[in-house]
Amino acid sequence: MKLSPLQIARYKYQPKLPGMLRNGIAEISVKVGEKTQSVADQEKIAALFPNTYGKEEITFQKGENTSPAKVHKVGVILSGGQAPGGHNVVCGLYDALKATNKDNVLYGFKNGPIGILKDDYLVFDDEYIDQFRNTGGFDIIGSGRTKLETEEQFEVAAETCKKHGITAVVIIGGDDSNTNAAVLAEYFAAHNTGVQVIGCPKTIDGDLKNEDIECSFGFDTATKTYSELIGNIERDSNSAKKYWHFIKVMGRSASHVALECALKTQPNICLVGEEVAAKKMSLAQIAEYIADSVNARADRGMNFGVAIIPEGIVEFVPEFSVLIAEINELLAGSKTEEFNALPTWDAKYAFIEKGLTPESMKVFEILPQGIQQQLFLERDPHGNVQVSLIESEKLFSAMVKDILAKRKKEGKFNGKFATQHHFFGYEGRCAFPSNFDADYCYSLGYNAFMLIQYGYTGYLSKVSNLAKPAEQWVAGGMPITKMMNIERRNGQDKPVIRKALVELDGKPFKYFEANREQWAVETAFTYPGAIQYYGPAEVCDITTMTLALEKE
């Protein structure tokens, strides 16, 4: 396999660890903190996790390592969507294992949680793992979205661990994956299997965060990758001066990615789903807001601009959520077949008009026909609309076009409005990790072994103080149950990790809010450029603007 010069150079990069983990494993001790409780529904969560709930947060510090000496056999699982830096979590875990005892073994379960159920694995060695240091992707063992949530699955996982003498499993994933890790840890503890479970916080969406987890890994690299592309488009827009670019970015349940990219690139428009929900904005109001910017810039002779739209924006629009619920009900059961059998779109439209309430029909009517049809073409396994497939960037550009056409007839708009559309998603999930993510992920993996060595289970590997240089980072662990609450899922109450949404009173949004009126009218674009790996720390090791603003 031919390697690029950058890949060869990145193999040689030595990730930076937090100061207290640099002393050597023999000189790392534990400082025990306060007992914890879940963020909500404390009694219900405690009842569901009697063996792992309410444990203390812990911090590692310099001191004598008092953990019992033994050979460790550890399994690792990559779960869910890819995020830059995942390979370095595995590398950090491996290096800590081997630094403690060369006889320690790391098993990699292939293709996600299904690997532990099928006993499909590989055993890592130096030659194999060295091919993946500081690289993007999850191809080191593959990933998958199988959920570990049933008694039968837990029994199989326990048997797999018993077969190989595995006494700890590290699950690298997002909020759902770490919820599964907490449930698995509780099962293993309740059945005295002797198997620990440790989680690591991953998601480029940025919604796995709280006062303890300052940032999920991959968010830094993904937003820098998207921001480079957005900056390139801004420069092109400012050069050609003839297109409005509507750019959709990842983030279905929260708008962290969109907000971070806006802070980096200063586009004319950035929608924030959480604000849309708080203000109960309609689709029409959102389109009018964008059209006002287009109009104001056209009045200044600037018929170009950039708008950033989070992937899940329509789910934050109250009227649209009601529409989706009504459509799901309209096509429940055999009605889907009845609808699909209708010969023309006109016949289907009449069926829809008859089945929706007048309020929802008004919302449906303002949608471009392509979006209307899309709502009825794609269904998930439960028969529901797949909202994530809606091309919201095209939806809003079409609505803005209609508004501007009306204004032109009224003599209120004299400019031009031509559009280009983009969706940045997969482009950021497997990028070469930034120095920050390379360091952070390696530290998370190394730290995960320290939690294992000291006998913790149901804990999340935690590295904090991330706005400071790596030397000042603080390593430790927190019980996963601390992040949990009860939510309604598929008709049942389930314990889940609470997703972190953009805080409208937080410093990152407030900074954006204070500047967006100027950005909407002026050409205030900034161009982040490509991720830098070599050079001054203030260029190469910087983290996100979100984190910098939160910690200033």
CB atoms < 10 A from the CB of 407, how many? 17
β-bridge partners, 492: 489
State how far the alpha carbon of 101 is from the alpha carbons of 147, 206, 257, 450, 503, in Å: 32, 35, 40, 13, 45
Distance between CA atoms of 448 and 138, rounded to whole angstroms? 18
> Nearest Cα to 264, choosing from 223, 319, 317, 323?
223
Catalytic residue positions, numbered: 205
Look up residue 306 and give its DSSP letter.
Answer: E
Q: Which of 212, 253, 230, 303 is nearest to 81 (CA)?
A: 253
Count of helices and strands (H, E) across the chain: 22, 15
Measured CA to CA in angstroms, residue 108 lies from 91, 148, 230 at distances of 11, 16, 36
CA dihedral sign, ordered 157, 438, 251, 503: positive
List helix spans (H) across 309-357.
318-330, 335-340, 345-355
Q: Answer yes or no: are the C-beta atoms of 451 and 171 closer than 8 Å.
A: no
Query: Residue 311 in 3-state DSSP?
Result: coil
SS3 content of the chain, % helix, strand, coil (to 5): 45, 15, 35
Q: Classify residue 524 as exposed, middle or buried by CB count within 10 Å of its CB (0-12, 13-18, 19+).
A: middle
Tokens at 401, concatenated: 């076009």
